Chains A and B, each alone.
Chain A
């Protein structure tokens, strides 16, 4: 069936289309060229004066897996306060900071998002994550498997295993967990916490293994590079939230040895120790480092004021943060010699100096990083704020007057400690399209997403061109997923099932001869029962599996194919 969007103003940065009036056509869920033979479309939408972009992609959002469910278990009040009535189309749902799976899919689709990536899949919990994400309707999903505090890798490093063997283990993990990338969280630190260490610096040998976080970062980033996995190592660095951690972050960037690294929720890792409160913005230095090193990308992890919950694999940091829990309850879990998870509810307050400066630091990073292809719009949902605050964040970036008005409302000391008011930059629609579509697709290696070229998936969002960008991005006029109209003016009109994006780098299955006895002896599981099969993924709830190509030891992440 041929569908036509007539007369929209198109923003498609992958093809350098910056606000050109063009018709967009698709058939069977794929963008096609205008029909040559005068074929009349079956379905036509006149969107003259409206804005067209591909569906948005969130490359870092905690939407599935044990920690999210634990956060729900801990906070029934979030669901009591926010419930939605079922309709003939949609299920009963609710929640604000950890919405139910149904609400997650509906809200994302209503906002024009068509793919979401869960960044912290503990391998032991991967099956759970896929089942939970399988119940998130409409949007596509994908995940990053967490390595770096798992005893198998640490044993390899401690025993001097060659890089090739580590590559095989990394590739096996991607395969067995059906993930598209690898994340490291507080490298070695989650393991160190199990040995009762309460901090672990970048060059500090870990307890028991005497492996440093820097070593872990180096072997994992090299493994992904050598395997040709498009997404660079997704790094949640050491010392999250600790004043002065800007030095750690700069050292991490400096130690990348030219290999690609993606620094996630970098706002939480950009703190200095200046000023009488010993807490200051390191945003300018971080932005300068990113601008200088094209191998580095980052997502911001912007905080927003209000109640949320922090759910993280970084048990060491969450133990530190427990005293700030609001309401006063928190949980922590050590997981399967693999990783851990800590859940601490939190309320960011604009009258609090630290929180207000965190807010400003995030915005400073957005505005000081020159290249929108290497900085991504996230709140580290729900850790900085729920994903439903993205439209507000877009307005903060696009509207300097509005931003400065908001700045006037926050803690005076924080305002004085930030240079935010001196930054004139306003993001353009083109730049927003880069950081929420073209950029994430490129850095994840999704060749057929994030753009509107011929052959791309017909994931398309149509916005009213409203001066209030928050209202504009909150309720797009039309949202199409794989060519099907799923939301209209902020309401769901069709419920579909999304696919799962994965990569499958080649590797030597000989690694299983080491993994098998390890799992049997120490993990109490037979290896054959560990891996998630492709057919099983469908039972988990995915509509299908989409494999993305791995380059052969590419120097930089593969760029999207030209139309």
Chain B
């Protein structure tokens, strides 16, 4: 209504028409150039919405804003490459691939539904299919998600969202990550954006841990960040000691991986003095055993700090729609990802229902893998029959039992996607006309055939 979309081109998803070779080519497509502004990017959890793109026969190009990742993934999704389906590596019509996928799921005792990199409609379709066929449901970032969910379910937490960070944070402590490797524009868009209540020059950034690219990060206000280098494996102990200092019950401690007690005392004091402090982490970068305990220690520090000032956690996520999958799972099943449907009920086990782990243990006898944003997100190696719904360009060797090219939400069709602060859901637009089917569409077809 009322022309809210600033897009010049209405979003449209055409149906598939099958060519003689079995590929699903686009219906006649006008190859004049289209320019669109205020475009939302679905390729990381920041969901930046200030991109401009141009699309023509040569492809889709990000012309304004964006980052290396968005430029690559918008471009790879360019029109002109028709979709295809394969059974055991052989090109087949879509219907045949759908029938084969349905046959695999029919015969499976317990399939796994993994990857889950799709939009809300895609997750809804997968959960409906899983509810019918039984099976394990997990996101490709499930292991990382659990590093946050376990401490949340143990003790709860205090968190914040991007706009609060942008407008209020006078101290940002970053634990175990550079953030930018996964969320390239974080400091530009979130940490140092225009603010209502704080000057950028007043903001301090402290990195703790073994993050890769911290040297490249400087504050927009000009102040370089403070960097406390240590192995990420030490973060649980470090924040455990900081927690003790904040509580006033730890008076001394040996240096932890080169970080002295005096350094931690100073850090604790800075955190106490902040008016609105933020402790940010990226669970995907805390890749070591029992990393949930590091997150738990961080959350404990935040709780204590709030006795006297305001401080909040920022567990940044969202890539490949991990927060999207988690939200839909929560409202439809009551649980985060890592669930299983069996005997007509749904159950949740953060350890047992990891897709990778279930495959390794031989608990599942088929796998449906969904990766609609990035063709690099390949399925885990397995001998069980695998159905892959992926963005065009995923090359698997040996080939999957079934592979179907699918559209990318936010590029080929509209959809809903959660930003990485877990609160704001955005409406992705369809930017180019495409014959590629959506994940929701293919899954519904498979479900109808099961």
Contact = CB atoms under 8 A, between A and B. Distances in A.
Given A73-B330, A131-B416, A522-B196, A92 B152 contact: no
Contacts of B149: 73
A553 interface: no
B49 A529 contact: yes
Contact of B414 (A64, A78, A539): A539
Given A526-B6, A534-B1, A94 B427 contact: no
Contacts of A128: 327, 418, 423-425
B154 interface: yes
B141 to A, nearest CB: 16
A334 B334 contact: no
A532 B197 contact: no
B166 A335 contact: no
A319 interface: yes
Given A74-B153, A92-B346, A68 B426 contact: no
- Central interface residue in A73, A74, A95, A194, by most chain B CB within 10 Å: A73
Given A333-B159, A334-B164, A539-B414, A76 B332 contact: no
B6 A100 contact: no
Contacts of B309: 196
Interface residues of A, number: 73
A447 interface: no
Contacts of A195: 310
B157 interface: yes
A83 interface: yes
A132 B341 CA distance: 20
A389 B149 CA distance: 30
A332 B163 contact: no
Interface in A297-345: 319, 325, 328-338, 343
Contacts of B194: 521-522
A331 B163 CA distance: 19
B331 interface: yes
Contacts of A336: 161-164, 423-424
A85 interface: yes
Contact of A86 (B131, B276, B328): B131
A78 B158 CA distance: 21
A226 interface: no
Contacts of A333: 158-161, 312, 423
B26 to A, nearest CB: 22
Interface string A521-536: 1111110110111111
A461 interface: no
B306 interface: yes
Nearest to B344: A85
Contacts of A330: 156
Contacts of B423: 66, 122, 124-125, 128, 333, 335-336
B330 A529 contact: no
B348 A76 contact: yes
Interface of B: 1, 4-6, 38, 40, 49-50, 120-121, 124, 128, 131, 149, 152-164, 166-168, 189-190, 193-197, 275-276, 306, 309-310, 312, 326-328, 330-336, 341, 343-348, 414, 416, 418, 422-427
Given A92-B346, A331-B152, 17 more contacts: A68-B331, A69-B331, A76-B153, A86-B345, A127-B427, A131-B328, A131-B416, A193-B310, A328-B155, A332-B159, A333-B160, A335-B160, A521-B194, A524-B189, A525-B49, A529-B38, A531-B4
23 contacts: A69-B327, A72-B331, A79-B333, A83-B347, A86-B131, A86-B345, A91-B332, A98-B334, A100-B332, A125-B423, A135-B124, A196-B275, A319-B306, A329-B154, A329-B155, A336-B162, A521-B193, A524-B162, A524-B163, A524-B193, A533-B4, A536-B427, A539-B416
Interface of A: 64, 66, 68-69, 72-76, 78-80, 83-87, 91-95, 98-102, 122, 124-125, 127-128, 131-132, 135, 151, 155, 193-196, 208, 319, 325, 328-338, 343, 520-526, 528-529, 531-536, 539-540
